[in-house]
Chain A
Amino acid sequence: MTKSKARVNSSRRNFLTGSASVAGLAATAAIVPITFASANHKDGSKGLPEFINWKNRDALIIHSDKGIETHRSAIGESIVTPNANVYIRNNMPTMTDAQIGNRKNWKISVSGVKNPKTFTLAQLQKLGHTTIATILQCSGNGRGFFAHKVRGSQWKTGAAACVLWTGVPVKAVVDACGGISSSAVFMTSSGVDHAPTGLDPKQAMVERSVPKKAYKDAILAWEMNGDPLPNSHGGPLRTITPGYFGINNVKHVGKLSFTDKESDVKYMKSSYRISPIGKKGPQYPTCWEMPVKSWITRPTDETGTVKAGKVQIVGVAMGGTKKAKSVKVSVDGGKSWKKAKFIGPDLGKFAWRQFALETSLSAGTYTLSSKASNGSDTQPELRMENRRGYAHNGWKDHSVKISVV
């Protein structure tokens, strides 16, 4: 059992991507046409899977019907990522409307509290109401940049989104149950999406424990960016743990318990552990708090050549569990840096800030990088090497090469 946070201090190495092919237009209100680097946009060879046919195909890169990431420039031109562009990464098949049944009657049992209770969604909605902005980011976002052969989806930047969740604060639920048991050390959420598969819960249940303190900011959400929480994003109810990696935001949550031990299911014990290459085991830290991170969303190698003259370099910067304090941008691969401005409203420390640097570029090729700080930590240059390619926040790998003509 480990109590250590997934605090990642990073170091070495570099990997750059870049290729461009057919141009297309993102159907999001984005001004920026995305040049599709991914072959799966051609000939309609990879259409949207049925269960998410409402999403924006042009904004997405389909790795498989279950692994779909957002194009770098489709993350949202105004801070919040539209639902139609948000990535898909589900460990279990998405529950269907038939499996969910009457949404108002969805049940969640609460234990590890003075007075254990079971609430329906309708009852939760009477306990409290709040809206918070957080980053939803897969632990493996950035895995595609690692040099060693890493198992798992090869996300680059697109397994991340900034979302407004509406729901009841866990605090209000806890109060309605008379408070947390004094022996509790963790807040454990259990999904029920494995149940229809009939698979062994110890192997298949998405159950995640986070430090108890996380309950103070956590909510049980039923709405995502103003829409009823889609099934594919964990509807009708999902635990939201602000500042923590995506896996901890348990979808289709059916149980919330305050426990003295970490969950012992596979998704807690073995998966999502940050270990050195070649090593594995539950003794290594799990994917909990997200580190400070930023990346440029335009211009990129996907958005085509840039006209010489005034250029707006735009991106997103997050502080993890702290507020993003500042972000710097480089156009020469990190030799020199200029402070970029945060633009738009501040949606709180768990959201990202959009940033922009206005600069003048003459014809040539440039390597654009961004480096954020949350006051205590600054993004390192290099990734922290680890077996499964988790928690990448190195600025060098996230650089983009552009051509100015």
Chain B
Amino acid sequence: MKKNNFLLAFFFIFFFSLQSIKADEAKMIQGLEIFNEIAGCAGCHVLKAAGAEGNVGPSLDSLKPTQAEVQDMVFYGLGVMPAYGEDEMLTEEQVDIVSFYVANSAGK
């Protein structure tokens, strides 16, 4: 009985880990799309992972921002950077996804 419980627990953990890895991968793919196609971040930023070579704002590979930092910047903007969230150019979900993407791509 104990052995079965153990196997069951192991199976569920494994299954959910796979789901979460898959979810993260999906987020990265979506994030790249938002970065390049929807928000046009590449126009102003360097991010090697996205093939971006913009030279207006700081190089994201140099800055290596945390997800929270990206979130804040993308939502509220700063100086010439638009307030993508506040001005509803991106949905909150899109802001989340692109922030996750940038934080996990910068400097890589």
Instruction: Please report A residues at the B interface, Cβ cutoff 8 Å.
Output: 46, 49, 62-67, 91-93, 149, 151-152, 194, 197, 199, 203-204, 266-267, 271
Contacts and interface: CB of A to CB of B under 8 A. Distances in A.
Contact of B59 (A64, A91, A197, A271): A64
B55 interface: yes
B63 A63 contact: yes
A271 B62 CA distance: 24
Contacts of B84: none
Interface residues of B, number: 15
Interface string B72-108: 1100101110100000000000000000000000000
Contacts of B76: 151
A63 B69 CA distance: 13
Given A49-B62, A152-B78, A271-B79, A66 B72 contact: no
B62 A91 contact: no
B79 A91 contact: yes
B17 to A, nearest CB: 32
Given A65-B63, A199-B56, 15 more contacts: A46-B62, A62-B62, A66-B57, A66-B58, A67-B58, A67-B63, A91-B79, A92-B80, A93-B55, A199-B80, A204-B56, A266-B79, A266-B80, A267-B79, A271-B79
Q: Which 5 A-B pairs have the closest CB atoms?
A: A64-B58, A64-B63, A66-B58, A65-B62, A204-B80
Given A66-B57, A197-B56, A151 B78 contact: yes
A93 B80 CA distance: 12
B58 A93 contact: no
Interface string B29-60: 00000000000000000100000000111110
A389 to B, nearest CB: 12
Contacts of B72: 149, 151
A194 B57 CA distance: 12
Interface of B: 46, 55-59, 62-63, 72-73, 76, 78-80, 82
Contacts of B73: 151
A204 B76 CA distance: 16
B56 A93 contact: yes
B73 to A, nearest CB: 7
A267 B59 CA distance: 21
12 contacts: A64-B58, A64-B63, A65-B46, A65-B62, A66-B57, A91-B79, A151-B73, A194-B80, A204-B56, A266-B79, A267-B79, A271-B78
Contacts of B62: 46, 49, 62, 64-65
Contacts of A152: 78
B15 to A, nearest CB: 38
Contacts of A67: 58, 63
Contacts of A49: 59, 62
A65 B58 contact: yes
A197 B81 CA distance: 13
A203 B77 CA distance: 11
A92 B56 CA distance: 6
A151 B63 CA distance: 14
B107 to A, nearest CB: 9
Nearest to A94: B55
Nearest to B46: A65
A144 to B, nearest CB: 14
A62 B59 CA distance: 12
A197 B44 CA distance: 9
